[in-house]
Structure 1
Amino acid sequence: RLSFAALNLIFPLIMILGSVGFMLGTGGNAVVSKTLGEGDKIKANKIFSMLVYVTVIIGIVLAILGIIFTPTIAKWFISAEKEMSVAEREETVGYCVVYGRIILMALPAFMLQNLFQGFFVTAEKPRLGLFVIVVAGLTNIFLDWLFVGIFSWGLVGAATATALSQMVGGVVPIFYFGRNNDSLLKLGKTEYDGKILLKVCFNGSSELLSNVSASFVTILYNAQLMRFAGVDGVSAYGIIMYASFTFAAIFIGYAIGSAPIVGYNYGAQNHSELKNVFKKSMISTFCFGLIMTALAFTIANALAYVFVGYDEGLRELTAHGFRIYSFSFLICGVNIFASSFFTALGNGFVSAIISSSRILFQMITVLILPIFFMLEGIWVAVTLAEILAAVLACVFLFANRKKYNYA
């Protein structure tokens, strides 16, 4: 259980550093898609190539810094957990350092993986993008089985499996785009354009802000769970978060996949198709939410058993928490799509407001609700936060419908 707690404690650091890839990917996709829509393929490829090279450089620098400072950061995270014994703290810090350093070695690849997924759609190769991400996922599953189940490497094996799978997801696209291909995009010579890079960063700032803020929310959740449920609460939350990432990945994948289409049609001033994409996306997102909520609620007990079946109390705590948490899937897809939609339209400001509101509302609810509802309030906090953010997102969608002609 301490290893699960350690993963959840160090995970925010990895996501904060890796969020730069999300920023360059989403912001860059909007710019490249719009440029292609305007008919300038040469310029689009130069921007694409520049973003890939910049991502690699930033990834290497952040990985080195992260590896150096992981012990210090891990101790800082643990210092806030007053309920842990000295022995538990030392053991947990050790787990954090081992897992964090192995994962950070693959940080550049992780950032590239996040960058490339949207660009596969822009390049009109969405199936190839899906294939790469599926192969990366299957690689992780197979290596987890091999390293943890067969070789009994424990936490080191799990971290190594994740790192290698990220390398598959990040490096394979380089070989594809780096050679002659029949897509719209190709890696090649480029020119550094600070103005374009700044525009990309600003346009993708909502995704950066969202991921960084979400990491701080995780830290806040950990502190509250330590207060109301101890180490078991942090372990349960870690399992719930990993499961929720899988569910949320469907929404994120759809948002990333639809963004280039939105950006292209907006750049080409094809308003009828833009309206069609918006309408179908809103309906699809809500339907996905219904299905995933029902599925998550149904498999909560089985999921908890897979991870912590050895501890009956922790299993029940995890299953109960995940059932309550699952209702957030009804709403979160709308918010994720709305933020990505405005990014694709080139309105990074509104996108950032929607993304940051999700995080801000979570911070508020996770601090206030436990005062009245104790541990139950922590599990409910995310659903209430998503509802409040959805109201705000709908206001922006309604207010900007005529400006961008999507409704």
Structure 2
Amino acid sequence: MSITSTDLANKDIKQLLFRQSVPASIGILFMTVNVLIDTIFVGRWIGALAIAALSVVMPITFFISSMGMAIGIGGSSVLSRALGKGNREKALNTFAHQIMMTFGIASLFVIIGFFFSEEVLFAFGANGDIMAPAKEFFLPILFAVPFQAFCMTGNNVIRAEDKSRHAMVAMIISAVSNIILDIVFIKVLNLGVFGAALATSFSFFLCFLYILWFFIYKSELKLELKHFVFHKKLAREILSLSFVTFARQGVISILAIILNHTLYAEGGEHAVAVYGIISRMLMFALFPVLGITQGFMPIAGYNYGAENYSRVRETIFTSIKYAALFAVIVFIVVLTFAKPIVSVFTTDAVVIADTPGALRWVFAASPIIAVQLIGAAYFQAAGKATKALLLTLSKQGFFLIPLVLILPQFFGIFGVWVSFPIADVLSTIVTGLFLRQEMTHHLKKE
């Protein structure tokens, strides 16, 4: 095992968390800035209807590519614990299985998406005038999804090797290239929504090339043909943990379907555009919290595999403390500058008027989400798939979807926005109880 990965067992937790989380946060920042700028370009250069189209298409493509994210996170949990136990051969076999499973499953979904594109788009909320630009945006991106899926898998494996700077560079390459190509295809060549899709597709491919280069020349995981022999038991272990992330992304996609249809029924295309802006802000504003969560997982997973439970406890407490601090800062900024933030995205007067209030409600409980995110991530890092699944699904699946279905019947569109903080509070309480029980009983053992 390399000196780099053994640092996870020996270095100061704060230093490790900083080393893991800062590159992850910067990578997520570039990725979300990319999405934000993409939305701004589309909203200002094409129109609010194009933002609504993006709100329909992006959950579909993220659902397909999330197989890569799921296999990346689930497999990297297996990989980190294998490295922690000194089982290098299992780590290599795990990585090979991640590659085979990612390309196989993502390609299958692409075929389904291609042959049933209109049905899929309609199911995700491409109602009325939204369908035409949504279809124009969907098809070019669809064929680039396997590359995006591999990028998501590779990113998590890179972090499991404790080489998070390379993971950061991969995300920066994708983000910067997309912004440049957006300007070329949308503004210069005037290709509209199709140009935005081309820009995104090429950015996925460039990210894929960088990650491929990393694994050929820089990675400590040097694969051979023998590692690509399929092992049913190992595949089942990877899938059991991957299912946690994939189920979360699946539930997020179901939520997107319900939200898009509910918002269209309550406020038409403009309401869908409002949520399009809010969803981008959710991705962007919480980047440091998500970065800490990603930085937390390899440290917790490695030390859990090494049965060093005192370091696992310390990692949990430290991660929650810093993630909560950033979440509070995000809450204050959004609360204070909601209207100026919205005005950046569009010149549409109706959208500018309706979005700030909704944005404040959606972010209302953000100061407490660190417990929910870190708690669910711990159970995944520790290989406890059932608890990780339940906690990961708690916000969107068990609370938010039912609330979005019920509250608008009594409060109209306001019922949609207030569902978000209620779901945050309830899921945080549940996660806190699970985490407290785990730390009281299991993590006391040495």
Normalising by structure 2, report the TM-score: 0.84
| Maintained 8 Å contact 2:79/2:91 | yes
Corresponding residue of 2:71? 24
Q: Is 1:291 matched with 2:291?
A: no
Corresponding residue of 1:85? none
CA distance in 2, matches of 1:105, 1:73: 15
Residues 171 and 327 of structure 1, relative CA distance in 2, 3 Å threshold: farther
Residue number among 113, 119, 125 corresponding to 2:157 in the alignment: 119
Amino acid at match of 1:73: V
Q: Is 1:199 matched with 2:237?
A: yes
Corresponding residue of 2:104? 57
Amino acid at match of 1:62: F
CA distance in 2, matches of 1:139, 1:187: 29
Between stretches 329-338 and 280-289, larger displacement belongs to 329-338
Amino acid at match of 2:302: Y
Corresponding residue of 1:388? 426
Corresponding residue of 1:318? 355
CA distance in 1, matches of 2:241, 2:265: 38
| Maintained 8 Å contact 2:60/2:124 | no
Corresponding residue of 2:85? 38
Between stretches 157-166 and 242-251, larger displacement belongs to 242-251
User: Tell me, what secondary structure is at the counterpart of 1:400?
Assistant: helix
Q: Is 1:7 matched with 2:79?
A: no
Deviation, structure 1 residue 94:
1.9
Q: Is 1:94 matched with 2:161?
A: no
Q: Is 1:334 matched with 2:381?
A: no
Residues 389 and 206 of structure 1, relative CA distance in 2, 3 Å threshold: same
| Maintained 8 Å contact 1:75/1:93 | yes
Corresponding residue of 2:145? 107
| Maintained 8 Å contact 1:67/1:100 | no
Deviation, structure 1 residue 205:
1.6
CA distance in 2, matches of 1:55, 1:321: 37
Q: Is 1:253 matched with 2:291?
A: yes
Amino acid at match of 2:361: I
Residues 406 and 176 of structure 1, relative CA distance in 2, 3 Å threshold: farther
Amino acid at match of 2:91: A
CA distance in 2, matches of 1:142, 1:176: 23
Corresponding residue of 2:27? none
Residues 169 and 334 of structure 1, relative CA distance in 2, 3 Å threshold: farther
Deviation, structure 1 residue 110:
1.3
| Maintained 8 Å contact 2:300/2:378 | yes
Residues 166 and 246 of structure 1, relative CA distance in 2, 3 Å threshold: farther
CA distance in 1, matches of 2:369, 2:155: 21
User: Tell me, what secondary structure is at the counterpart of 1:253?
Assistant: helix
CA distance in 2, matches of 1:373, 1:76: 25
Backbone CA RMSD of aligned residues? 2.0
User: Tell me, what secondary structure is at the counterpart of 1:327?
Assistant: coil
User: Tell me, what secondary structure is at the counterpart of 2:262?
Assistant: helix
Residue number among 174, 187, 195 corresponding to 1:157 in the alignment: 195
Amino acid at match of 1:186: K
Corresponding residue of 2:222? 186
Amino acid at match of 1:154: G
| Maintained 8 Å contact 1:206/1:339 | no
Q: Is 1:145 matched with 2:183?
A: yes
User: Tell me, what secondary structure is at the counterpart of 1:43?
Assistant: helix
Normalising by structure 1, report the TM-score: 0.91
Identity %: 26
Deviations 1:77-134 (A, max 9, x none): 458x5xxxxxxx2x42221222111111111111112212221221121111112212
Residue number among 243, 262, 267 corresponding to 1:229 in the alignment: 267
Corresponding residue of 1:73? 120
Amino acid at match of 2:382: L
Amino acid at match of 1:199: E
CA distance in 1, matches of 2:362, 2:103: 36
Corresponding residue of 1:266? 304
Amino acid at match of 2:252: A
CA distance in 1, matches of 2:286, 2:139: 26
Deviation, structure 1 residue 144:
1.7
Corresponding residue of 2:382? 345
| Maintained 8 Å contact 1:28/1:204 | yes
| Maintained 8 Å contact 2:71/2:102 | yes
| Maintained 8 Å contact 2:178/2:202 | yes
Deviation, structure 1 residue 406:
6.7
Amino acid at match of 2:230: Y
Between stretches 323-332 and 31-40, larger displacement belongs to 323-332
Deviation, structure 1 residue 346:
0.6
CA distance in 2, matches of 1:392, 1:316: 35
| Maintained 8 Å contact 1:251/1:337 | no
CA distance in 1, matches of 2:337, 2:89: 49
Deviations 1:292-315 (A, max 9, x none): 122233443233222221x11111
Deviation, structure 1 residue 12:
2.8
CA distance in 1, matches of 2:211, 2:51: 32
Deviations 1:266-293 (A, max 9, x none): 1111122212211101101111111112
Deviation, structure 1 residue 383:
1.1
CA distance in 2, matches of 1:188, 1:143: 36
Deviation, structure 1 residue 262:
0.7
| Maintained 8 Å contact 2:407/2:415 | yes
User: Tell me, what secondary structure is at the counterpart of 2:407?
Assistant: helix
Deviation, structure 1 residue 389:
0.3
